[in-house]
Amino acid sequence: MSGTTNTLYEISEKLEKKENQSANKLVDKLEGEYREVVQELFKDSEFKNIGFELIKYHFDYIRSFMIDDFTIKEKRTILAQGELISSALFYNYLLEQKVHAQLIPALNFMRIDNNLEPDNYYIKENLNRELKQYPDCKIFITQGYICRNMFGEIENLKRGGSDYSASIIGRAVTAEEIQIWTDVSGFYSGDPRYVNNAKPLTQLSFDEAAELAYFGAKILHPSSVLPAKLANIHVRLKNTLRPEDPGTLITSKPLGKGIKAAAAKDGITAIKIKSGRMLLAYGFIRKVFEVFERYKTPIDMTTTSEIAVSITIDDKTYLNEIVKDLQLYGNVEINENMTIVCVVGDNILEQKGYINKVFDALKDFSIRMISYGGSRHNISILINSEDKKEVLIALNNLI
């Protein structure tokens, strides 16, 4: 199923540009791949036929959007089809295997409000109403990622996708534990692609996990465990391919002290605004931040000096417009293709000696920016991307 959402996005992009013929070719190709899945997945001819009918229904539905007035509403509906198809196929596979299960559509209970945040009261009431319809059922399948907005239109959760859905649902049903199964065995002390002796982390606090996720650990989206944190529900990360591995347990309480891990976030752009005349003037910082707010561009790191403010972003969509607006307040310097490395641990801000260890480990590298003190659990450092591997190895040696 990997890559389905990307292909559906590509199809919708083609339809937006009125390139219906190109879109139809992509639809045909993706439908063919799903027909192969059905052929391999089911053994019984009855369930094969159910699978083929399901595939035909959904892909004919996608083709129905080859219309002149294609809008964002149609685009969101197309993007939802991957989750709807895969969950229905999985449900029918369980039925073929004589497993008693029930499929409940996420579109019946998952809703976001006007601020694009989960409508938790609505979700809890409607989800529990769905579950009560099947009092004897112990296994329920639903979709991740997709939801409805306040107008009843199909939308998506964007941040964290299915992980976010799992956390929201876990909170709504007051789960004992939320498990997220991926293709890696939880968090590590360093990125195993670059650090050969990276150690698995058996337990982290919600804050530590969020810091690592935000600054580059791809296993988890930083927002996806927030509902679990608010409800104090444990989250366990497990490896589908290696189920015997313990994985990582995320709880409200950290395990152990000191530095536990380092993660790297690539594609960072550093922006320096330098102005000897305006920097200390009342309202200068507010005006700078308002530029980023205007273009809905989040800021990762911020440092200030007497005559300059340095900021990092990871979204360059409106970089030219941002630079143009900032030039009203001073000279603007841009450094692209940078990397943020974050060092994470419990309360490392308040424990003596850890900041010295970090700087000693990085004494041979050029450091562009440092963020220390904003979080009790994180030290963030901006470096040249070509130094990332060596920096991660050096920091892992501290753990």
| Percentage above 70 pLDDT, the chain | 96
The confidence score (pLDDT) of residue 257 equals: 78
Asked, colleague to colleague, whether 180-255 and 262-396 share their fold, the answer is: no
Average pLDDT in the 316-326 region? Answer: 94
**Higher pLDDT residue, 254 or 6?**
6
E strand map for 203-346: 203-205, 234-239, 248-251, 258-274, 301-304, 308-313, 331-346
**41 is written with which tokens?**
């997945």
Could you say which architecture CATH assigns to the domain 180-255?
3-Layer(aba) Sandwich (3.40)
CA proximity to 220, closest of 208, 230, 231, 232: 208
pLDDT greater than 80 at residue 352:
no
Give the distance, in angstroms, between the CA of residue 151 and the centroid of all CA atoms in the same chain.
Answer: 25
Residue 254, classed as helix, strand or coil, is: coil
Question: What is the pLDDT confidence band of residue 280, given thresholds at 50, 70 and 90?
Answer: low
pLDDT greater than 80 at residue 140:
yes
The confidence score (pLDDT) of residue 211 equals: 84
**132 is written with which tokens?**
């009560």
The confidence score (pLDDT) of residue 277 equals: 64
Question: What is the pLDDT confidence band of residue 160, given thresholds at 50, 70 and 90?
Answer: low
Residue matched to tokens 């956390």: 167
Which backbone phi and psi does 315 adopt, to 5 degrees?
-120, 110
Average pLDDT in the 318-343 region? Answer: 93
**Higher pLDDT residue, 190 or 105?**
105
Average pLDDT in the 180-207 region? Answer: 89
* CATH class for the region spanning 262-396: alpha beta
Residue 345, classed as helix, strand or coil, is: strand
pLDDT greater than 70 at residue 159:
no
The confidence score (pLDDT) of residue 336 equals: 93
Average pLDDT in the 133-145 region? Answer: 95
Topology given in CATH for the domain delimited by 4-178: Carbamate kinase (3.40.1160)
> What are 252-261's pLDDT values in tens digits?
987 877 788 9
The confidence score (pLDDT) of residue 222 equals: 76
Q: How far apart are CA 355 and CA 398, in angstroms?
A: 11
The confidence score (pLDDT) of residue 353 equals: 72
CA proximity to 287, closest of 316, 324, 326, 317: 326
Q: Where are the alpha helices (DSSP H) in the chain?
A: 4-16, 20-41, 45-63, 72-96, 120-132, 161-172, 206-214, 226-231, 284-294, 319-326, 354-361, 388-396
Q: What does the DSSP assignment read for 83-111?
A: HHHHHHHHHHHHHHTT---EE--GGGT-B
What is the domain partition of the chain in residue ranges? 4-178, 180-255, 262-396
pLDDT greater than 60 at residue 278:
no
| Percentage above 90 pLDDT, the chain | 65
Do 384 and 358 meet the contact criterion of CB atoms below 8 Å apart? Answer: no
The confidence score (pLDDT) of residue 259 equals: 85
pLDDT greater than 70 at residue 363:
yes
pLDDT greater than 90 at residue 233:
yes
